[in-house]
Amino acid sequence: MKVVVDYDLCESNAVCMSVVPEVFEVRDDDLLYLLDEHPPEELRGRIEDAVRRCPKQALSIED
């Protein structure tokens, strides 16, 4: 699985970070950082939740 962020859409509101902090991080510069582009499969459910909850629909998963 590959996590994809559309940085043109992303507002760095940290919803994804609250769901999967192992993968997403909003830093002091107010930008979103993808910590693990290819996270372990056991995180898939939480990442799918983060994708659904993203207010700007800036996240996706590629298999």
Q: What is the pTM of this model?
A: 0.94
Structural domain containing residue 25: 2-62
Span 13-62, pLDDT tens digits: 999 999 999 999 999 999 999 999 999 999 999 999 999 999 999 999 99
pLDDT at 53: 98
CATH number of the CATH domain containing 56? 3.30.70.20
pLDDT at 62: 97
Domains identified in the chain, total number: 1
pLDDT at 31: 97
Residue reference for tokens 């799918």: 48
pLDDT at 60: 98
DSSP structure class, residue 21: T
